[in-house]
Amino acid sequence: MMLRRAARTLCAGALVAFAAVSVSTSAVAEGTFDPPASAKFAPAKLEAVDAFFNKIIAEGKIPGAVVYIEQRGKPVYHKHFGVRDVATQKPMTDDTIFRLASLTKPFTAFAVMKLVDDGKLKLDDPVSKYIPAFADTKVGVEKKRDNGEKVLDFEPLKRPIKISDLLLHTSGITYGFYGDSLVRKAIAAAKIYDGDPSNAEFADRIAKVPLQEQPGTLWDYGNSYEVLGRVVEVASGKPFYEYQKETLFDPLGMKDTRYYLPEDEQKARMAQPMPNDADFRVGRPSRPDIVKQWQSGGGGLTSTPNDVIRFVRMLLHKGELDGKRYLSEATFKAMTTDQIGPSSGIERDYFYFPGDGFGYGYGLAVRTDAGNAKPPPPGSLGELKWDGASGCYFVVDPKLEMFFVLMEQTPSQRQPVQRELKKLVYEALE
């Protein structure tokens, strides 16, 4: 517990310094944290977005990007920068295909919440109801021998992992490609990504590796959403992608959102990172052009600006778009409400990726306060956001009736680009 608190202190300090250098004082002077609902965009100020992307592309930091901003039902900015691939020099377009990486997670969460809406799943259900292997999962606990050597001991669960734990990253399931705990090292050594497992086989592999902590105690980013992909299959009786396609992708008009690209025409539309920036650093290869069985609910989707904009627009409209409701109002509200606040008993450590000032709902970060940074990062209370290791990113600001979408493929530059774009977007309000 003391280590976690120390880590949280370190994290908060890092975030304060981080935000302080990345958010200009002019942004704060213009009131871009929690701006008034009447704020609107000044077209002349949005030219700063053009200048920023043209500059970083000219410097060779990224190949290109697509940026879209919409407010009160009307597009206010829609630009294509650079190329989708420096090798082919083909331009960025709205049908360019991007690897979403962890931006996949909100789509997976939406599928789960749809099953909740339809009464086929309950958030309090134990995961073992759908994947029996999780009945035997253990928690890995580091202990020291007399000689000081660290060893991993195993303890039983104090309570079962719930579906809500998977959605909230409080299952105890972590990733094995960052951090140096013995559990993370054990996950890496287990080679869970090897071969061509089905969703069912992959979930069973995860069930056999130890949890990092007891369920419901800490927000811990990991393979929870991979497990959710299998839960969806069992609860719906359909393959994961087929269920998503029938309930969300097809009805919403997302014709280019899928896990793999079997056609040459699709592969030709793929955006590629800079040749020296191709490591997505997610512990596994990112090759949607090679068709496999596994459909990663945590990071496997590919999509286009057109498709992602449709999804994010539906989020802004609280689960409804073009006269069709995708989630009930109550379920959508639960999905977009912070579930891990101070009264939840859930701790945060250095790896709390929603960031300073944000809580977490079911699949989305939710802005709950200004945070500790001085000045605070721009935005409004109630803001929803998420991004992925490939650089794709969206922000929904219900107060301003606004959202923006960034599509890019740049593992190393994603955070600087996302921070700067958000700052410029809010500085363009008046």
Q: Tell me, what's the pLDDT at 284?
A: 76
For residue 302, report the phi and psi dihedrals to the nearest 5 degrees: -115, 150
CA atoms of 184 and 369, how far apart (whole Å): 32
pLDDT of 26 strictly over 50: no
pLDDT tens column, 137-173: 999 999 999 898 999 999 999 999 999 999 999 999 9
pLDDT tens column, 187-200: 999 999 999 999 99
Q: Are 232 and 297 in contact (CB under 8 A)?
A: yes
CA atoms of 333 and 331, how far apart (whole Å): 5
Q: Tell me, what's the pLDDT at 9?
A: 40
Q: What is the mean pLDDT of residues 206-212?
A: 97
CA atoms of 52 and 341, how far apart (whole Å): 36
Domains and CATH numbers, the chain: 2-103+255-427 (3.40.710.10), 114-236 (no CATH)
**Which pTM value belongs to this model?**
0.92
Q: Tell me, what's the pLDDT at 1?
A: 43
Tokens matching residue 360: 């977490």
Cβ-proximal residues to 221 (8 Å cutoff; 6+ apart), any chain: 169, 174, 175, 351, 353
Nearest in space to 366 (alpha carbons), one of 390, 332, 415: 332
Among 2-16, 120-134, 264-278, which stretch is predicted with the lowest mean pLDDT?
2-16
Give the model's confidence band at 177: pLDDT under 50 very low, under 70 low, under 90 confident, else very high.
confident
Tokens matching residue 98: 């991007």
pLDDT tens column, 393-408: 999 999 999 999 999 9
Q: What is the mean pLDDT of residues 176-204?
A: 94
Number of Cβ within 10 Å of residue 343's Cβ equals: 6
Q: Tell me, what's the pLDDT at 405?
A: 99
Q: Tell me, what's the pLDDT at 279?
A: 83
CA atoms of 39 and 378, how far apart (whole Å): 13
pLDDT tens column, 269-314: 999 999 999 888 777 778 999 999 999 999 999 999 999 999 999 9
Q: Tell me, what's the pLDDT at 32?
A: 60
Of 10 and 186, the structure prediction assigns the larger pLDDT to 186
| % of the chain at pLDDT higher than 70 | 93
CA atoms of 115 and 167, how far apart (whole Å): 13
pLDDT of 252 strictly over 70: yes
pLDDT tens column, 87-110: 999 999 999 999 999 999 999 999
Cβ-proximal residues to 230 (8 Å cutoff; 6+ apart), any chain: 130, 131, 199, 200, 202, 203, 240
| % of the chain at pLDDT higher than 90 | 87
Q: Tell me, what's the pLDDT at 295?
A: 97
Q: What SS3 class is residue 347?
A: strand
* Mean of all residue pLDDT scores within the chain: 92
